[in-house]
Structure 1
Amino acid sequence: METIRVIIIDDQPLYREGIRTALEHREDCVIVGEATDARRASELLHTSHPDVALINAGLDSSDPLEIAQQARQISPQTAIILLAPSEDEERLFQSIKVGVAAYYTRHITPDQLVEAIQKVSQGQYLINNDVFIKPQSITRDLKPFKELATEELEVEETKEQFSPLSSREIEILDYIARGNSNKEIAKSLKISDQTVKNHITSILKKLSVNDRTAAVVYALRHSWIKMHQEQ
């Protein structure tokens, strides 16, 4: 079993201790460093090149989103899990923008945290699906997603001049991003529920993602879709 290298970026000793306790007895996880601010986090990323970085979204000493963006630049292979004090839609959207792989509140259990670490280390995105079904999200302008989070992603965007998805698949993803169910999409497009399911299966396969939310996040970050403000 390959060991997952983890760093903790948190300025609260008690919380760091709690995470350390949750992970130290796991054979598949090892904590390779801890940081309390952006400077130390940068040093760890340069020297340790961890598989996963756990960042406290409530840092007092530094901006956690700046640290996340910096991490993506220094160590692109590092998956980032942001641990927030509470649900915050604005922070969630900004987290997606800078390339965070998972977003959880501190109510997450140790077992859930370990599972998240395992999944993001394998390249999965675990963004809260609730943001795509909240009515207020439908009216949100997502222009910031057109700006890719790191130079690496900008290069990738330049190279990739087209989407692997068909126009119909992109249209369906756009409906999903607006919070529509399969039945609602089928009704709007005047196609069957099964046809919608077939398209979604094709989307997940083409993007190599596991669920609808991950597909939407992928499409948003590559500027294939966006949500428009209500007129």
Structure 2
Amino acid sequence: MGSFARRLRDNSLTLVFLGLFLAALVGQAFVGHAAYNAEQQMQGSETETFGAYVTGPTFLVDVAENWQSEYLQFFLLIILTVWLVQRGSPESKQPSDAGRGSDSEQQVGDHARPDSPHWARVGGLRGQLYSRSLGLVMLMLFVGSWLAQSVTGRLAYNEERESAGLGDLTWGQYVTGPDFWERSLQNWQSEFLAVASMAFLAVFLRERGSPESKPVGAPNAQTGA
């Protein structure tokens, strides 16, 4: 197998999901544009070009509100599974292993391997940052997409208020108002339910060959397999 083909295989999970993401985003743009213009026509308002729609607040707020809920889900899953457990789930550590773990278990500092990442070997502040880098980056992505949602959501909401002859809301008024939180909570509740369902159903159900599942013959009580 050539080096390029090997790199494709070794990164196939990420590449396929990025491809699915782009396909879904493009699909959302086209059907969202059609739905938006249909609504505009029913209201007797002017339609928008595709370019104006995908760079406008109506499309961008829909994208941002989904992104922020996804990154919130992964941030909480990463952080909460440090201490919280679900006996029998492959998504959980053993109940006795709850917590950050020892330096020896985490292979950091003096316990690092020769091929460990550099920041895992150096210790100190850099080691502390690296040991929490995944959660920190997910938190930053959540906060960034949350802010993007708040800005684009305000613009979209003010467009609706303007068409109704009402004044604009400030950013502070919008993020403390019902439209922003209705958009956020409707996504959060579905993400939280999905994670809870996965953690619990994986105790009893199997998917042969998937790392998200225990081996088919593993006991239901086997945790973290």
Using the size of structure 2 for normalisation, the TM-score is 0.22
More helix, by proportion: 2
Where relative contact order (Cα < 8 A, 6+ residues apart) is larger, the structure is 2
More strand, by proportion: 1
